[in-house]
Structure 1
Amino acid sequence: MKKRYLLGVGLMLLLGTQVQAQDEVIDKIIAEETENSQLKQLGHELLDGIGPRLVGTPQMQKAHDWAVEKFESWGIEARNEQWGEWKSWERGITHIDMVAPWTKSLSGQQLAWSPASPEGGAQGEVVVLPEVADQAAFEAWLPSVKGKYVMISAPQVTGRPDYNWEEFATEESFEKMKEERSESNRAWNERLRNTGKGRRELPAALEEAGALGIITSYWSQGFGANKIFSAYTSEVPTVDLSLEDYGLLFRLAEGGEKPVINLNAQSKDLGVAPTFNTIAEIKGTEKPDEYVLLSAHFDSWDGGTGATDNGTGSIMMMEVMRVLKKVYPNPKRTILVGLWGSEEQGLNGSRAFVEDHPEMMEKIQALFNQDNGTGRVVNLSGQGFVDSYEYLGRWLSKVPREITREIETNFPGNPGGGGSDYASFVAAGVPAFSLSSLNWSYFNYTWHTNLDTYDKIIFDDVQSNVILAAIMVYMASEEENMVSREVRVPIGRNGEPTDWPAMRSPTRKGGLD
């Protein structure tokens, strides 16, 4: 009895020491990030100093090299791991001026991978894609575009977002506007269909017919926000204009005033560039061949500087590594961070990592990914892992309540088949989780837009996410055993069982066809 009592006391003392040590690390994580956060400086260096990180551009390479240097300055081993190659392109200036019927500098920019204007730009009349009865009529019209700029996007009925209408309009006026908008979109889609050309084929046909350039406008349903994606021309520039300036040119052209612009869009085709993931690691001491992963995509579209998609996720994960290296330098398991390339073109960097490192997949304890904006984390799904409630719940319980109180959980949930890089690992059977953030009008104002810039970052929220992720990683590293990987069959929208997401190979040669 006495011996059992002494053993019990010893066990209590041991557990007490472990809990105390655990609390000390957590306290240090909180203190370090609260008192010595490097997020603002990291954001400034990455977003203001380097800028957007379109795959294949010199800026993307510069970002990878910067990240490796930054990790190494913190005493963290890091490398750039090549997984493919991409069309290499560098953005130059975009100057767009209406010179008739009056003079105005217009707000817009060339799309990614757009060809350049002639040196100094080119002047020409602006015309609108016409209403034609069928493809034959379109083909008969095509020669008339020679030496002109062609507008191919639908005009907007209103430049005010719906929330603005809801606040100020009468119910009748709001409904009338929505009906007009629906009819306008229907009519424009019919106009496009009657050309017989698809979204990618139409610009190429206009280019071949001698158009000087293509003018588009992809409004993001928010004041001043346009989404900036890629061009489908190979010889002449494609530019996106703001809703306001696109509407001006459209009305003038439709009204017969024959607007003229001078467009000077410069860029460089640099051939082919290697593509990378940046990988950094803090080596485990007890179980170095087991891993806890931090995950964020490093690339962006280049309408803005990629601040919330996914600069915030990237600097957050870098900061988590910095904090852990300082307060938890000898983890039980190896802690890795992956800053993935070419997520925007189909999760290519993370899919390549999964494909290139099959031996690691069964040894990953957990992965935490952050992608969808600058907000504090408010949603966590178990991704279909049956026992995720048990271990994620325990780990979350160690995070300060003021950070977790708004987090909604869904266990076991369904596996994500896409959307961000965690899905690449879920498909491989890895317990990979998305730290999903508060919206902050993400889809209207910053997701792939010209407004996705440093000033949109909510640093208090990102700092909260650093503390959350650092504690979760610490707990996952210290977990005694590997967590359960048992999964449930996903349930589809119709309530019927579906298949687990399949692993997909990346595109390793992009934009080269």
Structure 2
Amino acid sequence: MKKAYLLLILYFICFTQTGFTQINDQLVSDIEREVKQNSQLEVLAHELLDVIGPRLVGTPQMQQAHDWAIRKYNGWGIPAHNEQWGEWRGWERGITHIDMVYPRIQTLKGTQLAWSPSTGKKGVTAELVVLPTIADSNEFNKWLPTVKGKLVMISMKEPTGRPDYNWEEFATPESFEKMKKERDLYEDEWSQNMQRTGYDRRSLPLALEKAGASGIVTSYWSKGFGANKIFGASTEKIPTIDLELEDYTMLYRLVEYKDRPKISIRAESKELGAVPTFNTIAEIKGSEKPNEYVILSAHFDSWDGGIGATDNGTGTLVMMETMRVLKKLYPNPKRTILVGHWGSEEQGLNGSRAYVEDHPEIVGNIQAVFNQDNGTGRVVQISGGGFLKSYDYISRWLSAVPDEVTQHIETTFPGMPASGGSDNASFIAAGAPAFGLSSLNWSYGSYTWHTNRDTYDKIIFDDVKNNVLLTAILTYMASEDPDMASRERRVLPINKKTGEQGTWPSQRSPNRKGGL
């Protein structure tokens, strides 16, 4: 829906709906003043991101974050608790040090992947080898024994470490096109060679481990300067590390030129056995309709290549600050306001799926879920999530939000139901009105989403304040609305690929024993 149309109909919708409570302009002004003049965002960000750091599920830092949130909420007079929903493989990152020791000495930029086995204090020192170009899986299986005692590089050597936007700015058109064609050809050849091995990214490290390799070396470039995607290891006994592109390609060239490079890896992680996993839930009790709910939603966990600042530290901060502001200025809402800080979103929305599965009595009485996940930018898009009449109530709630916020927002009604991606999808699958507050990009996909560069300095606090103001007023309006939001679903379009009628996403059970 276009912004111009939205602005024209907001007033009409708000004040012509029968029985809708008059907007408390003073409260809205007070909320705006509190958000802008008394923000606690930077303090919260420091405590969560600088002090606690990344929040990988199953780590002590994840538990520290849950306990920290409880203390903050209790300090604001908001009851909160940690609710266990499962168990996970407990693991703690230790000191990681990676050095090239031959043909010269150089400290390398990289890290141990999550849940990678430890090297112990002695570490692992070995020669590097790369995957061969093979004709078929039989040839690859004949090569496998040669990896015994070696560190195996299993990622493609990127032909350029410059992002496309940098090429576009400085290269001639002919040079840029030449680079892209050569890169596409190289990527195709690499992919086809990988298929011929008979293994994929997950199974190959296990095959190399079984063949006697000393460790696995990867580099998952994120298409941005200095940025790599950092995920988890699949090995069971040998370490897996990820090196930044610049160091990885240098080592790869040394192997290609038969310089026989060696590196030393020291990665002192700890296995902690099965540990409990939680969601942190806080509540401002409703005064008139306590058994109806507005839910603020953000996942608490992160990957641990960086510190999880924009995925999803900023979403967490928005919801915590919104709760603080509402408790101070709107302490007796009509409906109960809940906040859910979900665990293990990154491994498949596990925390929110568990909450939906465990609390049908709440899910069946949800007025709205507002979920924020994708980065530090101001909210620029809201979809109706596939709910047929979402236009009516979302536009009504947006009418109280200052123009300086709504002018940046595009709305899409009725939209399509999210089937994954973030925690609003868990609620949508159960039929509850849940809406993603989608953010301005800020190069999220390349530079901070699951990368080693997802750090505090990437936060744009003005935009995060904008999102607190939006979320607080939407929550107030949804709480005060005399009518329950319609759950009527749109008829989904025909799938062009299959020719079949689209179906609503089905509710899925979480993984309650991750990595065990």
Answer yes or no: same fold by TM over 0.5.
yes
Q: Deviations over 1:184-212 (max 9, x none)?
A: 11121122122222222210111112111
Q: Confirm or deny that 1:69 pairs with 2:71.
A: yes
Q: Deviations over 1:262-309 (max 9, x none)?
A: 111110010011110000000001111111000000000000000000
Deviation for aligned residue 1:496: 6.1
Give 1:205's aligned amino acid.
A
For 1:403 and 1:492, the matched residues in 2 are separated by 35
Matched position secondary structure for 1:24:
helix
- How many aligned residue pairs are there? 498
Classify 1:492/1:61 alpha carbon distance in 2 versus 1 (closer, same or farther; 3 Å): farther
Give 2:188's aligned amino acid.
R
User: Residue in 2 aligned with 1:115?
Assistant: 117
Deviation for aligned residue 1:507: 0.5
Q: Confirm or deny that 1:408 pairs with 2:410.
A: yes
Gaps of 5+ in 1: 1-11
User: Residue in 2 aligned with 1:507?
Assistant: 511
Bigger CA radius of gyration? 1
Q: Deviations over 1:412-433 (max 9, x none)?
A: 1111111100010011111100
Of 23, 45, 48, the residue aligned with 1:46 is 48
RMSD over equivalenced CA pairs, Å: 1.5
Give the structure-2-normalised TM-score: 0.95
Of 162, 172, 196, the residue aligned with 1:160 is 162
User: Residue in 1 aligned with 2:5?
Assistant: none
Give 1:200's aligned amino acid.
R
Q: Confirm or deny that 1:486 pairs with 2:494.
A: no
Contact kept? 1:489, 1:500, Cα under 8 Å: no
Q: Confirm or deny that 1:254 pairs with 2:256.
A: yes
Deviation for aligned residue 1:397: 1.1
Contact kept? 2:45, 2:456, Cα under 8 Å: yes
Contact kept? 1:98, 1:262, Cα under 8 Å: yes
Matched position secondary structure for 2:94:
strand
Contact kept? 2:55, 2:302, Cα under 8 Å: yes
Contact kept? 1:414, 1:491, Cα under 8 Å: no
Moved over 6 A (4+): 15-18
1:75-94 paired onto structure 2 within 5 Å:
75-94=77-96
Q: Confirm or deny that 1:299 pairs with 2:304.
A: no
Gaps of 5+ in 2: 1-14
User: Residue in 2 aligned with 1:197?
Assistant: 199
User: Residue in 2 aligned with 1:319?
Assistant: 321
Of 210, 216, 231, the residue aligned with 1:229 is 231
For 1:90 and 1:280, the matched residues in 2 are separated by 27
Matched position secondary structure for 1:444:
helix
For 2:500 and 2:173, the matched residues in 1 are separated by 40
Contact kept? 2:31, 2:472, Cα under 8 Å: yes
Contact kept? 2:118, 2:269, Cα under 8 Å: yes
Contact kept? 1:415, 1:490, Cα under 8 Å: no
Deviation for aligned residue 1:451: 0.2
1:328-347 paired onto structure 2 within 5 Å:
328-347=330-349
Of 290, 300, 318, the residue aligned with 2:292 is 290
User: Residue in 2 aligned with 1:8?
Assistant: none
Give the structure-1-normalised TM-score: 0.95
Deviation for aligned residue 1:492: 4.7
Larger mean Cα displacement after TM superposition, 278-287 or 180-189: 180-189
Deviation for aligned residue 1:18: 6.3
Classify 1:139/1:17 alpha carbon distance in 2 versus 1 (closer, same or farther; 3 Å): closer
User: Residue in 2 aligned with 1:464?
Assistant: 466
1:348-363 paired onto structure 2 within 5 Å:
348-363=350-365
Deviation for aligned residue 1:120: 2.4
For 1:425 and 1:155, the matched residues in 2 are separated by 41
Deviation for aligned residue 1:118: 3.4
Deviation for aligned residue 1:17: 13
Q: Confirm or deny that 1:498 pairs with 2:499.
A: no
Matched position secondary structure for 2:269:
strand
Deviation for aligned residue 1:449: 0.1
For 1:481 and 1:300, the matched residues in 2 are separated by 36
User: Residue in 1 aligned with 2:391?
Assistant: 389
Of 93, 103, 106, the residue aligned with 2:105 is 103
For 1:147 and 1:363, the matched residues in 2 are separated by 59
Deviation for aligned residue 1:356: 0.2
For 2:360 and 2:351, the matched residues in 1 are separated by 14
Matched position secondary structure for 1:435:
strand
